């Protein structure tokens, strides 16, 4: 072995033993982490466009059928919607605390906050399913059994057009349904993160999955931050 070779090997050993979490095509952990982060943000950008199309469809029909949308929106339960908003905001706090715990090497704080996030995520889905159940009972689900007999807010003598109200509920189910699907996927991701955290796989040097899972969860929270006022609070004043 030549001197330069042994010096190189020694130099590598001196710079810290080989990090098993560092993939060979990355020069250093920071570069690997930045690549993951950039990829995650591009994915979220496509998600913005994905939901953006639905928000666009919603805005067009809301402008066209404002009174009917107001009547349909009034049948939603504001207190359940507001509770779910608060539940998601609390879960966003536990997520950001989990990321912080992972970065500072606090394993039990990480496990605890991941578990709390899961509990809050499931609570959100539970409340959502109570709301969906009510829609089925009232025949507010678009389809052949759809019924809608509500008056337009501010027009006590005028009933809303059920066909236009049906468009509202179609958008309601697609938008909240797609959001709920993202929540279910998020719960799956966090179950995996919790398992890995329990096994002690995350360290201050390697915690990118927790950070990326956190970005996803916060994004889903942001979507709900817009869905709540747009769907529940159209025309609430007396």
Residue-by-residue DSSP string for 178-216: HHHHHHHHHHHHHHHHHHHHHTT---SS--HHHHHHHHH
Burial 11-29 (b: 16+ CB within 10 A, else e): eeeeeeeeeeebeeeeeee
Residues in a beta bridge with 230: none
Contact characters 128-167, another protein, x per CB under 8 A: ----------------------------------------
**19 binding another protein? (CB under 8 A):** no
Question: In angstroms, rounded to a whole number, what is the distance separating the alpha carbons of residues 168 and 178?
Answer: 15
Is 53 an interacting residue with respect to another protein (CB under 8 A)?
Answer: yes
Based on CB atoms, which residue is closest to another protein, 52 or 177?
A: 52
User: Measured in whole angstroms, how far is the alpha carbon of residue 4 from the centre of its chain?
Assistant: 52
Is residue 68 part of the contact set for another protein (CB under 8 A)?
no
Instruction: Return all residues near 120 (Cβ < 8 A) that are at least 6 apart.
Output: 87, 88, 90, 91, 94
CA-to-CA distance for 52 and 97, rounded, in angstroms?
Answer: 29
In the bound complex, what is the minimum distance in angstroms from residue 37's beta carbon to another protein? 6
| 206 is a contact residue toward another protein (CB under 8 A) | no
Least distance from another protein to the Cβ atom of residue 153, Å: 10
Q: Quick one: which of 13, 23, 89, 185 contacts another protein (CB under 8 A)?
A: 89
Is 229 a binder of another protein (CB under 8 A)? yes
Residue 93 sits in the site that holds another protein (CB under 8 A): yes
| Phi-psi sector, 19: left (phi>0), alpha (psi -120 to 50), beta | beta
- The residues of the shown chain that bind another protein, judged by CB under 8 A, are 30, 33-34, 37-38, 41-42, 44-45, 48-49, 52-53, 55-56, 59-60, 63-64, 78, 82, 85-86, 89-90, 92-93, 95-97, 99-100, 103-104, 211, 214-215, 218-219, 221-222, 225-226, 228-230, 233-238
């Amino acid at each position: 072995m030549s001197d330069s070779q042994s010096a190189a090997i020694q130099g590598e050993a001196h710079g810290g033993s080989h990090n098993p979490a560092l993939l060979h095509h990355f020069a250093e952990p920071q570069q690997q982490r930045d690549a993951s982060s950039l990829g995650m943000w591009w994915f979220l950008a496509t998600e913005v466009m994905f939901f953006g199309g639905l928000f666009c469809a919603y805005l067009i029909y809301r402008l066209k059928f404002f009174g009917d949308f107001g009547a349909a929106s009034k049948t939603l339960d504001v207190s359940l919607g507001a509770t779910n908003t608060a539940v998601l905001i609390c879960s966003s706090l536990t997520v950001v605390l989990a990321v912080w715990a992972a970065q500072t090497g606090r394993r039990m704080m990480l496990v605890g906050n991941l578990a709390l996030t899961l509990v809050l995520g499931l609570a959100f889905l539970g409340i959502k399913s109570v709301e969906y159940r009510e829609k089925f009972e009232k025949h507010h689900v678009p389809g052949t059994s759809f019924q809608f007999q509500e008056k337009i807010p501010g027009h006590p003598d005028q009933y809303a057009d059920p066909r236009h109200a049906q468009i509202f509920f179609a958008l309601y189910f697609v938008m909240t349904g797609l959001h709920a699907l993202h929540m279910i996927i998020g719960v799956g991701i966090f179950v995996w993160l919790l398992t890995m955290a329990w096994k002690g796989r995350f360290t201050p040097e390697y915690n990118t999955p927790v950070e990326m899972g956190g970005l996803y969860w916060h994004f889903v929270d942001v979507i709900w931050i817009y869905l709540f006022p747009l769907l529940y609070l159209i025309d609430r004043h007396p």
